[in-house]
Amino acid sequence: MSAHQLDRVSFIVLRHMRTPIIVLVCVYAVCIFGMVMVPGLPDENGQTTYLSFFHAYYFMAYTATTTGFGELPGEFSNQQRMWAIFCLYVSVVTWLYAVGKIIGLIKNPHLQSAISETSFARAVAKKRNNFYIVCGFGDSGSLLIRGLDDAGLSTVVIDANDERIKALQLRDYRRKVLGLCADATDPRFLIDAGIDNDKCIGMLILSNDENTNLKVAVSARVLRPNIKIICRSTSAENESEILAIGGDIHVVDPFRVFASYLGLVIYNPTIQAINEWVSGSPGATLNYNICPLKGGKWILCGHGRMGRIIYKKLTEKGIDITVVEPNIENIEDIAEHAVLGKANLENLEKAGIKDCVGLIAGTNNDTFNLSMVHQANRMNPTLFSMVRQNKHTNEILFKRADVDYIMQPSLVIARMVLFMLTAPLLKSFFSYLRLVYENDPSRLADITNRLATEVGGESPMVKTYRFTQKQAPAVYQKMFEEMEVRLGDICRDPAIQTDFLKIVPLVHKRGNKINVLPANDLVLMAEDEVLFCMRLSQKAYFEANISNPHTLDYLLTGVDHAKGSFFRWLERKDVI
């Protein structure tokens, strides 16, 4: 906790409580001084007695708590009793005033904000694991944090919406996620979130506001020049400004990603099926084929930011596409390929809905998107429909709707950022798949069959392992002993050495050299990185292979050596 934070809390408390504290001190000073000065009963020698300052303070102290201990140290005179009555009424009124001020202070939003900020900064400073700062806890941030938590990565959240931060505290994350309700464009909140902490390894900026994202990115680069930054942007102009910041910075545009996915659905359905399967999309399997006719006509409803990108991508591939858009200024440059108006039955008919093969409902209103798809399906039951889902809370409606493909920008961003952080080598894998598809489509079918056979099922786990002393101690030890460990050795089943786990190595990286789908006879070296695709149930077995020396010995030799010192001694005796 910084001195600035302590000063801020102290300043608010002292400024608010200064007057009641002064009044309380003055009232007690007058009361105590009066109790000392008022004469008491005479003693046995006839001398008038007086209370000492200690006894006067003691009397005022226990009466302040409404506790009655009687007249101490002796019986009071009538004058003392009259003064005591005065003191009791005055002190009660003073305490009511002070307590009211204390209650008002507790409710003071500035104090609550200062205390929250102080507690947040203190908790962040105590973190011992690496963490990412997430700016924006909307749909994208929520989905991403869930994925990062499942991957064992820690996060710290800043969001300006107090309700979202309160909701954060109710999530059942495996690791506690710290959250602060604050404006991330204020640099001091980034400092509170630990941007200058060595444990902070990245900034994930996912706000829906383009200007906010740019400001936060600039602040992060100034405060921590070498930090990794991943920023959301749906504007080409804003994206160029973000990239101009320089350093390790990446921009994620969900609309451009979706346009790319759309091209895959139409032209490379097998690659898109693999993409959906690897991403863990519900119901996605490797025999999943969603390919409509390539040469047919398409209708695009909505020519906003996303619609423009989709229209450009599809027309570049020679696809005949007609736009239905209610705002004339959005279709001025494509008037000959557009129908002006809402996507109702009349305008859909003008666009040729009965003869088209596909419809893309891409407006920013979920109700309109579902309505137009429902109308279009009635007019053309064979229609292939793609719909944009803007709010994650509407997921149930979209799942039950008769839709072939759903595009959710928040989910697209969350998945892309998650894979950039946990499996960056996936980009090389899919680039390889596209190259294979262009040159040898049958080879792509072989790859798909291998993934289906050797991993199979739904929602596989994709994770990158680096062969270091920390992440793969058993393998690293064998390398230190100059023993060869091959890729196929660590993929075997520790229960049956001749069998393999349900796992496929997708990409191997050594220095700057990338090898996609490496062979099992590849000899591993220190600092190698390998991206694996496996069933989630196989993770524990695989990590035992690379971490447990006894398990790895068995996989390399086929001999299950004794594990305890005594039994190893007996084993050596038997050999002798």
Could you tell me what percent of the chain has a pLDDT over 70? 93
- Alpha-carbon gap, residue 210 to 234, rounded angstroms: 8
pLDDT at 392: 81
State the architecture of 3-107 in CATH terms: Orthogonal Bundle (1.10)
Provide the pLDDT for residue 1.
45
Q: Is residue 40 a contact partner of residue 48, using CB atoms and an 8 Å limit?
A: yes
Stretch 181-189: mean pLDDT:
91
Give residue limits of the domains in the chain: 3-107, 129-252, 255-430
pLDDT over 60 (residue 100): yes
Hey, what CATH topology would domain 255-430 get?
Rossmann fold (3.40.50)
One fold for both 3-107 and 255-430?
A: no
- 221-228: long-range contacts (C-beta < 8 A, 24 or more apart)? 221/245, 221/246, 221/247, 221/249, 222/187, 223/187, 223/190, 223/191, 223/195, 223/196, 224/195, 224/196, 224/200, 227/195, 227/200, 227/201, 227/202, 227/203, 228/201, 228/202, 228/203
Mean model confidence pLDDT for the chain: 86
- According to CATH, the topology of domain 129-252 is Rossmann fold (3.40.50)
pTM, two decimals, is 0.76
pLDDT, tens only, 448-471: 899 989 998 878 889 999 999 988
Maximum mean pLDDT: which of 29-43, 98-112, 258-272, 289-303 = 29-43
Mean pLDDT, residues 156-173 taken together: 89
Q: What mean pLDDT do residues 359-382 have?
A: 87
Query: Can you give the pLDDT at residue 569?
Result: 56
In this prediction, residues 360-373 reach a mean pLDDT of: 88
Give the span between the Cα atoms of 527 and 517, in whole angstroms: 18
